[in-house]
Chain A
């Protein structure tokens, strides 16, 4: 498998303070990679760095093309869909409008309609809420909406920031099941940030562990999962 996304000596900064210190990682084409770590380790920062939302230097390549200093919206157009922390719902717009935004430059109305229908087959619940103001959706529904909006971009890579955050266990299971389907059926590669390490390691095939802006461990998910240190620190048994 070749790498879809590759980071080399990646630094990221919030104002004067450095948040990532030369991290290196890759996401394999078609794979699901998990990024684990405690609060403040730099997981969200890494996703933001990939999308050019904060100041970065170092080397980031997507499908072999350098994207380090590219504007966020251009990186998105290349096929990187970021499902952000907090879900990024357009609260005053309807569910339909939330989904259509992602396709706003596309002229092929028919194909956009097809994409909408296809995305909604993953989340039939959103169909029931189609005309509703998106701010009134439950947390789980907003997470589904965020993933659907990302799918409307026809991405090659999806960056998911804590999709389980604040959701009931049953909803989390449902969403993770659908993420697995999306990965298999749409051939969308994923970089998944999670506090819930057990959940993430079940879904992912590869994992990195971040600690204060540095990668301290990486390997196949099964290996990471069985590591003594990881089990104690992140899995809690």
Chain B
């Protein structure tokens, strides 16, 4: 029982990171209908930037905030410079651009900071607390930081006029222009925010997976799974999806291991976590293509 709770707690912690990555994907997808394959590498690069600031002696949080700012501007510039000229290009060209960005960020990180694996500090004090038998302080911290960020984003989109303008631009760009919304800038803003969210995800997960150019490769796949399971069109759904993927992959692996230990039959275990996530993804797409929480828009014609 204790082990089971531990697995759920660890799943929630991982899920928090998947949720952030999924949300970053949704930010760009809902505005442009494109899945940004470079999101993981952008987050990895942002994490290096956090690390570089940290190396200068400033604390973890100031480093992260500065890296978020840099990432935000970087995302904005990428949209304006790289994707803007392509806004009428076919989807395949965009996909190639995303793969190109992925390769560029990957090799730039390697060239600037080498491929050597680096330890990354955790900002959370290593103290005992209620429930510390089940979950480590960094894991709790990951969950809390993710939830705070998610709530801030919710408030931003739900209650501010800029958030409303961004939603309007994503939903009906032509009509948004006619309501005076500078739609191009809203897209760029979405890219900037996605990049900044990625910076947080990277800095939260780096103490666990360590800092290296490949750190986000697997996590991006989990993020995709989370986003699609929850419904790529809905930010809330993507966040739920991230948590669901995190918890379910742990639970399925846990019961697989239990089966192996008690009966000696090995079907599934810790080694198959990523396939579990991808199977979940495929299952949801077959049974409910809009995702578990994907909203089917009501429309009268």
Contacts and interface: CB of A to CB of B under 8 A. Distances in A.
A23 B81 CA distance: 37
Contacts, number: 82
Given A100-B161, A101-B164, A101-B168, A92 B297 contact: yes
Interface string B170-196: 011011111111110000000000000
Given A92-B297, A136-B298, A104 B181 contact: yes
B299 A101 contact: no
A72 B162 CA distance: 18
B170 to A, nearest CB: 9
B298 A90 contact: no
A82 B179 CA distance: 8
A101 to B, nearest CB: 5
Q: Which of B175, B182, B298 has the most CB of A within 10 A?
A: B175
B66 to A, nearest CB: 29
Contacts of B178: 51, 72, 76, 81-82, 84, 88
Nearest to B185: A73
Interface residues of B, number: 23
A135 B299 contact: yes
Given A101-B168, A104-B162, A91 B297 contact: yes
Q: How large is the interface on A (under 10, 10 to 19, 20 to 34, 35 or more residues)?
A: 20 to 34
Contacts of B177: 53, 72-73, 76
Contacts of B297: 91-92, 135
B80 interface: no
A101 B298 contact: no
A191 interface: no
Given A133-B298, A135-B297, A90 B183 contact: no
B165 interface: yes
B168 A136 contact: no
Nearest to A87: B175
Interface in A122-150: 133, 135-139, 142, 149
Interface in A35-83: 51, 53, 71-73, 76-77, 81-82
Interface string A96-107: 010011111100
A77 B300 CA distance: 30
Contacts of A142: 300
A84 B174 CA distance: 9
Nearest to B172: A90
B167 interface: yes
A113 to B, nearest CB: 13
Nearest to A71: B182
A111 interface: no
A153 interface: yes
A90 B168 contact: yes
A29 interface: no
Given A77-B180, A105-B180, A84 B298 contact: no
Given A101-B168, A138-B300, A153 B180 contact: yes
Given A88-B175, A133-B298, A153-B180, 8 more contacts: A72-B178, A73-B177, A76-B179, A89-B172, A101-B168, A101-B181, A102-B179, A153-B179
Interface of B: 161-162, 164-165, 167-168, 171-172, 174-183, 295, 297-300
13 contacts: A73-B177, A73-B183, A76-B178, A88-B172, A88-B178, A89-B172, A89-B175, A102-B180, A104-B179, A133-B298, A135-B297, A135-B300, A153-B179
